[in-house]
Structure 1
Amino acid sequence: MGKSVTNGNVKKPNRQKARLARRAAEQEAATAHAEKEAADLPNLREQERKSMRNAYTIRDLTEHEIRSDGHCLYAAIADQLQSTGIGLKPRFDVHSLSSLSEPASENAAYSVTRQVAAAYISQNPNDFEPFLEEPIQDYVKTIRETGEWGGHLEILALAKAYRVDVNVIQGSGKVEKVECAFGNLIKSGLHTIAIALALGEHYNSLRKTKLP
């Protein structure tokens, strides 16, 4: 005779409980991964800081801290222009601004470089439109009127507006050089300034180390 089954029924697996258990396991694994990343972050930061400090030492540079906000790129460029004696007056005819003057404080200097970047891009649309995903008028308005952070296009605009080359020291210690490059007229900038990009999100100014 075959084996009997109580009440003639076979107990079915509870699929809902299985799904819940699987989700709980996935959530636990995701939490553990996030905790590991958080634990590793200080080490990654320290590794980056070490690479950047080595790059500064080789180039005789000292990091000048810039306030961490959406204006940091413009403030870092402004600090470079002022500390090197270049000044904030751009080297092109600014049609869209009635006047540009030196700001009363270091913290306000970014407002000038913001306006200069916006004006240069507006007056030279063919150099920038191929890289934009929005109308250039909207892009320029964002630069001019908001605290949106700047990146490579704004560095390029400022390099051309001030006739400078810009060395951007990355977290790895490598240097990205943004050249002024005006075809056959000017093959490089009249000066070279330096800024640092930490963790891919914050810019500081890099001043020449003062001799004792």
Structure 2
Amino acid sequence: MSGDATENFPADEREEESISDRHRKEKKELLAKIQAMKKAKVDKKKRKEMQDEIVRLEAELEARHAEELKADELPNESPSVALNTEQNTADDDETGKQFKVSKAQRRREKKLQEQKEREAQIKAEESCNKNSPRIAEDKKIAEILAARGLASFNVPADGDCLYNAIKHQLGRLSIFQYDTADLRQLAADYIEDNKDTLIFYMSNPETGDILGEDEFNKYCFQVRNTKAWGGEIEIKALSSRLKCPIEIIQASGTSPIHGAGEDMGRKLVLTYHRHMYRLGEHYNSTVAAQANTGGDSGDDEADKDD
């Protein structure tokens, strides 16, 4: 955006708008790249490598966007208060508070709009293709759950789905009270404490080599501080730290139970979806079938941590 086009707007609004526009553009570019990758005809091994690469690309983009938004948020508030002080000394504190509330409201509205757009896209895809892999997968998982008196409980596809699903299970069973950040911390601590055992299951998605020291540290940092997607390593870590078996129900194959040696009365039951969203895999929680009230309540609960 040129200087002439933006000189009539405050500097903080120009920066916020440019970051938002750039993030939106980068997400669209990543989506296009992922779609092109998924259309490529490759063998099963290459497809698994490709899926790992997709997860990595998503995690890196989400981490970078989160860091940029956080960095952008801190310097914007102080200048606004200073500006209000110069304009109206008597109303300084109140004006500063109003500005902050207004900016927070804009973020909430933007997040709500993105959620609505994502839901609209999902519904459009469902209506266009009733026989899509996602529909078939959802139907199979629903059948497995129904046979056990369970139903799926939706959580947002925001990178924290594994942690929010586990958080919901812990709350449903009244075992622990953890928020998403706490669960990420537990997982990262376990991975660091058990590096000698876990490192052999952690490889570079591009080379296939075992992670080096710097790569391992970066991995743990992303688990702890970003919205990096969680997988089997994080499930094992949380099962061990929480002393809870974690069963993963999926449409095909068996339903693995991590931490099978723990007290089965504390078992957490999640569902794993390969085709729920275009950008990769997803985890949901479960509830007793008669208690299932739909996805809205699940989204609201998980959003409290954002």
State the partner residue of 1:51: 140
Q: Does 1:78 align with 2:153?
A: no
State the partner residue of 1:154: 234
CA separation of 1:46/1:76 partners in 2, compared to 1, >3 Å: closer, same or farther?
Answer: same
Q: Name the CA distance, whole Å, in 2 between partners of 1:130 and 1:203.
A: 24
Asked whether the 8 Å contact 1:170–1:196 carries over to 2, the reply is: yes
Q: Name the CA distance, whole Å, in 1 between partners of 2:264 and 2:220.
A: 24
Question: How does 1:80-159 map onto structure 2 within 5 Å?
Answer: 80-88=169-177, 102=178, 109-133=179-203, 134=211, 135=213, 136-159=216-239
Q: CA-atom RMSD, angstroms?
A: 2.6
Superposed CA deviations along residues 112-145 of structure 1, whole A, max 9, x for unmatched, are 1111101111122223111123233222111011
Q: Does 1:67 align with 2:135?
A: no
Q: What is the letter of the counterpart of residue 67 of structure 1? A: P
Q: Does 1:196 align with 2:271?
A: yes
Asked whether the 8 Å contact 1:156–1:180 carries over to 2, the reply is: no
Q: Name the CA distance, whole Å, in 2 between partners of 1:173 and 1:130.
A: 24
Q: Name the CA distance, whole Å, in 2 between partners of 1:132 and 1:49.
A: 29
Farther-moved stretch of structure 1 (147-156 vs 119-128): 119-128
Q: Name the CA distance, whole Å, in 1 between partners of 2:190 and 2:165.
A: 18
Superposed CA deviations along residues 47-101 of structure 1, whole A, max 9, x for unmatched, are 111111111111111211101111111111111111111114xxxxxxxxxxxxx
User: Aligned match of 1:171 in 229, 246, 251?
Assistant: 251
Identity rate of aligned residues, in percent? Answer: 27
Superposed CA deviations along residues 18-64 of structure 1, whole A, max 9, x for unmatched, are xxxxxxxxxxxxxxxx6xxx976843222111111111111111211
Name the count of aligned residue pairs. 152
Under a length normalisation based on structure 2, what TM-score does the superposition of the two structures give? Answer: 0.45
Q: Name the CA distance, whole Å, in 2 between partners of 1:210 and 1:50.
A: 18
- Aligned with 2:286: secondary structure? strand
Under a length normalisation based on structure 1, what TM-score does the superposition of the two structures give? Answer: 0.63
Shift in Å, 1:171 = 2.6
- Aligned with 1:207: secondary structure? strand
Q: Name the CA distance, whole Å, in 2 between partners of 1:117 and 1:189.
A: 20
Greater C-alpha Rg: 1
Shift in Å, 1:209 = 3.3
Asked whether the 8 Å contact 2:173–2:266 carries over to 1, the reply is: no
Q: Name the CA distance, whole Å, in 1 between partners of 2:238 and 2:141.
A: 23
CA separation of 1:174/1:50 partners in 2, compared to 1, >3 Å: closer, same or farther?
Answer: farther
Shift in Å, 1:190 = 5.5
Q: Name the CA distance, whole Å, in 2 between partners of 1:54 and 1:174.
A: 14
Q: What is the letter of the counterpart of residue 249 of structure 2? A: I
Q: What is the letter of the counterpart of residue 198 of structure 1? A: H
State the partner residue of 1:10: none
